[in-house]
């Protein structure tokens, strides 16, 4: 398997057909890019919650008992490595009697036999943290590997995950390390008007009226930089772009709205893009295709959809962990 890392932990962003930068890249909220990469306070809090739960369930503690030993984590398969930031926090805060030495960087391609890290400390502590450490590294590396496969096949279209996650921001970080876009990190991170939100407004008119009403109610000063509206067909996409452009022209804004073309398929997405372009509305929107996208079918989206970004939970949900193991010997 040939691996090509298309994004780095410094926050690289793929450029789509007509979009210089996509707001779906929220990696700067997870890691400080300057100097040695360090998780932000937001990401540290998330890591502590998830890792702490795993340690508690596994009854893993730093007993500081036994002779000093060294364990070496070895990859048994090829992939894109991820998980260094959470494991650094795991050892420094829960197992301070242990020392880590890293042999690979976040986002680095690895093969079977690659030595990922060595950990030394009291035998009881090294054995106690082993399973949680391997679970974290295996899952996150599995996600970054799967994401890189999608990114390598996606051409000029960017790939993003969704809010469907198993391990919250740790999943999001692994997607970023694999070259994908995190999408919004939480409900508070970006305004998203979904189908159910519009259904509540249907009493004020049909779907088109609901879309116009919802967009007119947006606090543009607060949310214009990353606002998303979900539509089901081309006519709704036109309504959303028209309402957005009218409001932006009034306020003198230039931000674009993300129009999420939900379950429309690549061909209908392509038709919607052409209608928006012919209507002079394409410059006001970023088009996101989602729903039923598979890695095998990605070539059809590339050829026909004309979207800027594809979002799918398949890049991080149900993904097999990268196979890793730890071998221990005395030092």
Q: What is the CATH number of the domain that holds 57?
A: 3.90.1170.20
Q: From 258, 190, 208, 265, select the one nearest 229 (Cα to Cα).
A: 258
- Reported as type and span, the H/E element at residue 230 is strand 227-231
| DSSP 3-state of 177 | helix
Q: What is the mean predicted confidence (pLDDT) over 93-120?
A: 96
244 domain residue, yes or no: yes
Distance CA 279, CA 91 (A): 56
- In this structure, the answer to whether residues 58 and 146 fall within a common structural domain is yes
240 phi/psi in degrees, rounded to 5 = -65, -45
117 domain residue, yes or no: yes
- In this structure, the answer to whether residues 294 and 207 fall within a common structural domain is yes
188 domain residue, yes or no: no
Q: What is the mean predicted confidence (pLDDT) over 101-124?
A: 96
Residue 13's contacts (CB-CB under 8 Å, 6 or more residues apart) are 7, 21, 22, 25, 158, 181
Which of 116-120, 223-227, 291-295: highest mean pLDDT? 116-120
- Reported as type and span, the H/E element at residue 158 is strand 158-160
Cβ atoms within 10 Å, residue 174: 32
Q: Which domain holds residue 283?
A: 194-315
* Number of structural domains found in the chain: 2
195 band by pLDDT with thresholds 50, 70 and 90? confident
Q: Which two tokens stand for residue 258?
A: 């993300």
- In this structure, the answer to whether residues 324 and 290 fall within a common structural domain is no
58 domain residue, yes or no: yes
Residue 181, beta-bridge partner list: 160
DSSP character for 305? T
204 domain residue, yes or no: yes
pLDDT tens for 253-274 read 999 999 999 999 999 999 999 9
pLDDT at 16 exceeding the cut of 50: no
- What CATH number is associated with residue 304? 3.20.20.70
- In this structure, the answer to whether residues 310 and 324 fall within a common structural domain is no
pLDDT at 13 exceeding the cut of 90: no
What's the confidence (pLDDT) of residue 20? 53
- In this structure, the answer to whether residues 144 and 38 fall within a common structural domain is yes
Read off the pTM. 0.90
- What percentage of the chain carries pLDDT values higher than 70? 91
44 phi/psi in degrees, rounded to 5 = -60, -40
- In this structure, the answer to whether residues 136 and 229 fall within a common structural domain is no
- In this structure, the answer to whether residues 32 and 104 fall within a common structural domain is yes
268 domain residue, yes or no: yes
- In this structure, the answer to whether residues 326 and 307 fall within a common structural domain is no
72 domain residue, yes or no: yes
Q: What is the mean predicted confidence (pLDDT) over 184-211?
A: 80
- In this structure, the answer to whether residues 224 and 109 fall within a common structural domain is no
Residue pair 160/311 in contact (Cβ under 8 Å)? The answer is yes
- In this structure, the answer to whether residues 266 and 218 fall within a common structural domain is yes
Q: What's the count of helices (H) and strands (E) in the chain, helices before strands?
A: 10, 14
Distance CA 4, CA 104 (A): 16
């Amino acid at each position: 398997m040939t691996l090509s890392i298309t994004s780095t932990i410094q926050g690289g962003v793929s450029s789509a057909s007509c979009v210089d930068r996509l707001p779906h890249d929220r990696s700067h909220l997870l890691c400080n890019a300057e100097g040695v990469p360090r998780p932000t306070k937001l990401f540290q809090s998330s890591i502590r919650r998830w890792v702490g739960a795993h340690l508690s369930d596994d009854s893993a503690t730093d007993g500081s008992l036994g002779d000093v030993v060294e364990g070496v984590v070895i990859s048994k398969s090829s992939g894109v490595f991820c998980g260094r930031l959470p494991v650094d926090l795991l050892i420094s805060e829960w197992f301070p009697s242990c020392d880590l030495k890293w042999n690979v960087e976040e986002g680095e391609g690895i093969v079977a036999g690659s030595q990922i890290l060595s950990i030394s400390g009291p035998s009881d502590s090294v054995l106690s943290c082993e399973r949680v450490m391997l679970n974290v590294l295996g899952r996150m590396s599995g996600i970054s590997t799967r994401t890189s496969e999608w990114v390598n096949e996606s051409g000029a279209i960017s790939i993003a995950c969704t809010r469907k996650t198993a391990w919250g921001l740790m999943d999001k970080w692994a997607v970023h390390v694999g070259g994908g876009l995190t999408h919004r990190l939480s409900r508070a991170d970006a305004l998203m008007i979904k189908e159910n939100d519009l259904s509540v407004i249907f009493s004020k008119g049909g779907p088109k009226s609901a879309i116009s009403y919802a967009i007119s109610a947006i606090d543009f000063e607060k949310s214009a930089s990353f606002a998303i509206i979900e539509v089901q067909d081309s006519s709704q996409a036109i309504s959303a772009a028209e309402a957005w452009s009218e409001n932006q022209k009034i306020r003198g804004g230039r931000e674009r709205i993300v129009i999420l073309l939900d379950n429309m398929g690549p061909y209908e997405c392509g038709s919607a893009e052409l209608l928006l372009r012919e209507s002079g509305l394409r410059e006001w929107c970023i088009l996101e295709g989602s729903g039923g996208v598979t890695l095998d079918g990605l070539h059809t989206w590339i050829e026909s959809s004309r979207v800027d970004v594809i979002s799918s939970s398949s890049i991080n949900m149900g993904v097999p962990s990268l196979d890793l193991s730890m071998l221990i010997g005395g030092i």
